[in-house]
Amino acid sequence: MAMAVFRREGRRLLPSIAARPIAPIRSPLSSDQRRINLHLFCREEGPLGVRSISTQVVRNRMKSVKNIQKITKAMKMVAASKLRAVQGRAENSRGLWQPFTALLGDNPSIDVKKSVVVTLSSDKGLCGGINSTVVKVSRALYKLNAGPEKDVKFVIVGEKAKAIMFRDSKNDISLTVTELNKNPLNYAQVSVLADDILKNVEFDALRIVYNKFHSVVAFLPTVATVLSPEIIEKESEVGGKLGELDSYEIEGGETKGEILQNLAEFQFSCVMFNAVLENACSEMGARMSAMDSSSRNAGEMLDRLTLTYNRTRQASITTELIEIISGASALEAAK
Amino acid sequence: MASSAAVPFWRAAGMTYITYSNICANLVRKCLKEPFKAESMNREKVHFSLSKWADGKPQKPVLRSDAPEV
């Protein structure tokens, strides 16, 4: 400890002396070699010419790694609290579209002329791999559905997917939506969005790609299919689940076609609402685990740096001791 | 009673069912009394920015940040 104090004092006293030049090696070295030698001398002499291996560099790194660890821990807490808030709403909103699936069935493998793929992603980053999985699934859907006379267009929600899709599928994008998460998610917002999509894009089938939230560590990319009313009519003639629609009695003065149209629009809106909520949940969960592993990595890095720091510190103390002792013994021997 | 060929008035005006149901919901929200009214009006806030794309280029984004009865 006294050594450390002495060293610190030494550092304060020595600036006047330390204007001594770092001895240039007068030999035919290349400029790189000279620079490396300079570097070595500098490191050995410390920032102010003190004769100790510098622990300053390691200490700076430790400070910055510790700060990063604190920040990522805080982000994890924030994501965890946001997750808790959205999770309840997402699970409750699942009940919105379940009656539709019971009535109309889910037809992911339907073959239509015009499909529109709605890709949901997040605006902010640092959330692990969820956005890239969603984009992968969207691209796969594109390949599945593209072909002669068939048309696939993208509607992208969220900045992250926009950036990724822009690189290779930009000619197929028809709409992008951003800043959806500025206010807390509510049905009114999503329904206006659904309305805009309906008005701007022609479709026979809408495939919504999102991350379904199963648990805090598990989110699976899912595709939800919503058909346009004309296709439903066509399918109901074929039979199957949709064929039973005719057995329902329709009240009021509306025809089956009108009811189907209303239902299709409302179904799209409900499915979008649920998909957006589940995607938000998955985003929070992914961010939690990403920040968690990041803090753990920072902790490990800090451990390693602490070991290096201690080793350098002890080495420099030992060097000083050796110098002092050899100096003292030389004086004794000279006596 | 409407004949089977007539469309409901709102569809004839160009609205979708979604817009229609949103307007109805807004009316119901307005009928609540305070403080429930303020809470539920909070749930109606809409904000997002939409931009159409043509030939791989985004056009000017339209910011929709108003009451949801648009």
Cα dist from B31 to A5, A52, A187, B38, whole Å:
75, 78, 19, 11
Instruction: Give the best-scoring range by mean pLDDT among A9-13, A111-115, A205-209, A282-286.
Output: A282-286
* Per-residue pLDDT at A63: 94
HEC-encoded secondary structure of A307-335: HHHHHHHHHHHHHHHHHHHHHHHHHHHHC
State the pLDDT confidence band at A302, using cuts at 50, 70 and 90: very high
Is A11 a domain residue? Answer: no
Mean pLDDT of B15-28: 87
Q: Looking at the complex, does the CB of residue B28 fall below 8 Å from at least one CB of chain A? A: no
CB nearest B50 (choices: A175, A188, A253): A175
Q: Please determine, for residue A131, whether its predicted confidence score (pLDDT) is greater than 70.
A: yes
Which chain B residue lies closest to A180 (C-alpha atoms)?
B48
A322's tokens: 């050796």
A154's tokens: 């993208």
Write down the residue that tokens 């690189």 correspond to.
A167
pTM score above 0.90: no
Is there a cis peptide before residue A28, judged by omega within 30 degrees of 0?
no
Which chain A residue lies closest to B1 (C-alpha atoms)?
A253
- Rounded Cα distance between A266 and A277, Å, is 17
DSSP A23-45: ----S---HHHHHHHHHHHHHHH
- Rounded Cα distance between A39 and A54, Å, is 12
Contact call for A170 and B51, based on CB within 8 A? no
Which chain B residue lies closest to A172 (C-alpha atoms)?
B56
- Rounded Cα distance between A200 and B10, Å, is 19
Task: List, for residues A157-215, the tens digit of each pLDDT value.
Answer: 888 888 888 887 777 888 888 887 777 888 888 888 888 888 887 778 888 899 988 88
Task: Name the minimum distance, in Å, from the CA of A301 to any CA of chain B.
Answer: 41
- Rounded Cα distance between A68 and A299, Å, is 10
CB nearest A173 (choices: B18, B49, B53): B53
Q: Report the domain count for chain A.
A: 1
- Rounded Cα distance between A63 and A47, Å, is 18
Q: Looking at the complex, does the CB of residue A37 fall below 8 Å from at least one CB of chain B? A: no
Domain that holds residue A130: 94-237+257-286
Domain spans in chain B, listed from the N-terminal domain onward: 9-65
Q: Looking at the complex, does the CB of residue A178 fall below 8 Å from at least one CB of chain B? A: yes
Task: List, for residues A226-273, the tens digit of each pLDDT value.
Answer: 888 777 777 766 655 666 666 677 666 667 777 778 888 888 888 889
- Rounded Cα distance between A248 and A144, Å, is 34
Cα dist from A274 to A92, A176, B26, B31, B42, whole Å:
9, 19, 21, 27, 19
ipTM score of complex: 0.80
A-to-B residue pairs, Cβ atoms closer than 8 angstroms:
96
Task: Name the minimum distance, in Å, from the CA of A43 to any CA of chain B.
Answer: 53
CATH 1.10.3470 applies to domain B9-65? no
Contact call for A177 and B48, based on CB within 8 A? yes
- Taking each helix axis as running N to C, give the angle between helix A187-200 and helix B17-30, from 0 to 180 degrees, rounded to the nearest 10: 160
The CATH number of residue A232's host domain is 3.40.1380.10
- Rounded Cα distance between A23 and A331, Å, is 27
Is A269 a domain residue? Answer: yes
Is A188 a domain residue? Answer: yes
A269 vs B contacts (CB less than 8 Å): 18
DSSP A72-99: HHHHHHHHHHHHHHHHHHHHHHHHHHHH
CB nearest B17 (choices: A177, A200, A266): A266
Q: Looking at the complex, does the CB of residue B37 fall below 8 Å from at least one CB of chain A? A: no
